[in-house]
Amino acid sequence: MKTGEQSYLSDTMQDYEDATAFLGHWGRFQQEVFFLTCVSILTNGLGGFFVVFVADTPAHRCLIPDVNLTVDWDRAVIPIEVVDGKQESSRCSRYRLDVVRNLSAQGFLPGRDVNITDLEQESCVDGFSYSKDIYQSTLVSEFDLVCSEQWKKPFTSTVLFLGVLTGSLISGPISDRFGRKPVLFITVGVQAIFTLVAMFSPTWVVFIILFFLSSLGQVSNYVSAFVLGSEILTGKDDKAPSREHYNVFTLVRNAGIRNTTLILCLLWFTLSTGYAGLSLNTSQLHTDPYFSCFISAAVEVPASVTSWLALQYLPRRLAIMCILLLGGTSLYGIQLVPEDLSGLSITLEMVGKFGFTAGLSLMYVYTAELYPTALRNTATGTCSAVSRVGSCFSPFILELSVYSKYLPQMTLGTLGFLAVFASIFLPESFGQPLPQTIQQMRKRERIKCPCMKKKANSKSVVMIESQL
């Protein structure tokens, strides 16, 4: 190691140790801050993905009004279609009811006197009949968000995620203006009040609006608690004078910082899209959506433990690349599984969620380690806001299954492989001191694209020739 690098490392470590010397080790103060912060954000997980059940699609078919049909025609009025190699009743069409009623009145029998496949079909003009074996009512059944209105179901889920995105964007400035603890207490109250009122809301429309506000409070609560806890543990003084003021535009002003920011945003977007998409797809894993939800939630426990172990022992860039490869490969492998091995398909999808969940946990630490002190919170907040955009897109990605059964998984897997390639060009931060200034951040070594290196060399040659 060069003398200059040794001096830089020792000076940086000395600055950090001096700034945090008063904290001591894992004592009572750190334990109180840690557990109180956990309690303040514990309720966020309880309502995070309740939309899995509220927006689930029950089994449905065209509603047949009370008309005089024989038993045979009542059974035959819904066409039989082949879906993914299986025969099942049509969910979005029926034979023309006036024609069927005339044939029934004349005493003709379907399949013997009449070839029903030659009859003209029509859409569900009288509405839909929904199964109540699992749910008594959902957003889908209340607003008929099926068939020709298929786009409205992901839109409804996206509206709820917009509350999360809005909370991410406004929580930082509000906390800076009024303080961390006041905003934390207010957002906890907002979350509790609107969640309680939503439970007794008279209509689904009111319920969606109230839950949107509750989601906004949840994320503001999370961000405020996260920043408050980090500032207490690092001894940050908001009133300390600062020579330079940085904002979100600083992240894209310099070429090196801009490239790092764009790559990190891609990784955050990919991981959040995969995590939200696979979580929202929980109800489709098993015939019992509650059992599916338990499996999906249980996977997050080993994923969190794995991310903690990776942070302790593995280089950040290597850990992110391996996790993304695991998630993308498992999702691509689902289409190779035979139809009769549904358990293996579920396992591969849960392996994919395991990878995206662990990766999302790693990104908080990795992002904070790459940026200097003045940009650390801004960069983490910006990347987190970009990830919420991915969450908003995830319901629409799931609707790609209308065109191909495995298209959503293939899309998420492709995003994972693209993120793996992009992460190669990120600097490594494992075992290195945190940068204190932008200049120290620029000193981080990274793998450069060969084309960029060739371009840089050509510029150097031009400069040398000009000097000669």
More confidently predicted of 189 and 448: 189
Nearest to 52 by CA among 403, 352, 398: 398
More confidently predicted of 150 and 56: 56
Q: Could you count the other beta carbons within 10 Å of the beta carbon of residue 187? A: 25
The two beta strands, 86-89 and 80-83, are: antiparallel
CB 61 within 8 A of CB 92: no
| Per-residue pLDDT at 266 exceeds 50 | yes
Which pLDDT score is estimated for 218? 52
Q: How confident is the model at residue 456 (pLDDT cuts 50, 70, 90)?
A: very low
CB 364 within 8 A of CB 380: yes
Q: Quick one: 255 exposed, middle or buried, by C-beta within 10 A (0-12, 13-18, 19+)?
A: exposed
Q: What is the mean pLDDT of residues 97-112?
A: 87
Tell me which range, 18-27, 40-49, 103-112, 201-210, is most confidently predicted by mean pLDDT: 103-112
Residue 304 phi, psi dihedral angles, 5° rounding:
-65, -40
pLDDT tens per residue across span 6-55: 454 445 445 555 655 555 667 777 787 778 777 767 766 666 677 788 87
CB-facing half-sphere around the CA of 172: CA atoms within 13 A: 16
Tell me which range, 163-177, 227-241, 385-399, is most confidently predicted by mean pLDDT: 385-399
Cα separation, 233 vs 26, in Å, equals 11
Cα separation, 300 vs 306, in Å, equals 10
**What is the enclosing helix (H) or strand (E) of 185?**
helix 180-199
Q: What is the mean pLDDT of residues 215-227?
A: 52
* Predicted TM-score of the model (pTM): 0.74
Cα separation, 370 vs 261, in Å, equals 10
**What is the enclosing helix (H) or strand (E) of 128?**
strand 128-130
Residue 351 phi, psi dihedral angles, 5° rounding:
-65, -40
pLDDT tens per residue across span 319-357: 999 999 999 999 999 888 887 888 888 899 999 999 999
Average the pLDDT over each of 27-36, 78-87, 198-207, 219-228 and give the range with the smallest value: 219-228
The fraction of the chain above a pLDDT of 70, given in percent, is 66
Cα separation, 324 vs 422, in Å, equals 11
Average the pLDDT over each of 227-236, 242-251, 255-264, 457-466 and give the range with the smallest value: 457-466
Structural domains in the chain, CATH included, are: 30-56+143-241 (no CATH), 60-130 (no CATH), 242-450 (1.20.1250.20)
Q: How confident is the model at residue 1 (pLDDT cuts 50, 70, 90)?
A: very low
More confidently predicted of 221 and 275: 275
More confidently predicted of 187 and 453: 187
| Per-residue pLDDT at 450 exceeds 60 | no
CB 142 within 8 A of CB 203: no
Cα separation, 48 vs 184, in Å, equals 18
Q: What is the mean pLDDT of residues 89-106?
A: 89
- In 384-441 the beta strands, taken as DSSP E runs, fall at none
Q: Quick one: 371 exposed, middle or buried, by C-beta within 10 A (0-12, 13-18, 19+)?
A: buried
Average the pLDDT over each of 212-226, 252-266, 297-311, 414-428 and give the range with the smallest value: 212-226
Cα separation, 80 vs 96, in Å, equals 14
Cα separation, 215 vs 202, in Å, equals 19
Cα separation, 236 vs 254, in Å, equals 26
Residue with tokens 């492709």, as numbered in its chain: 414
Q: What is the DSSP letter of 80?
A: E
Which pLDDT score is estimated for 412? 93
| Mean pLDDT of all residues belonging to the chain | 76
Q: How confident is the model at residue 203 (pLDDT cuts 50, 70, 90)?
A: low
Give me the amino acid identity at 450: P
pLDDT tens per residue across span 368-378: 889 887 788 77
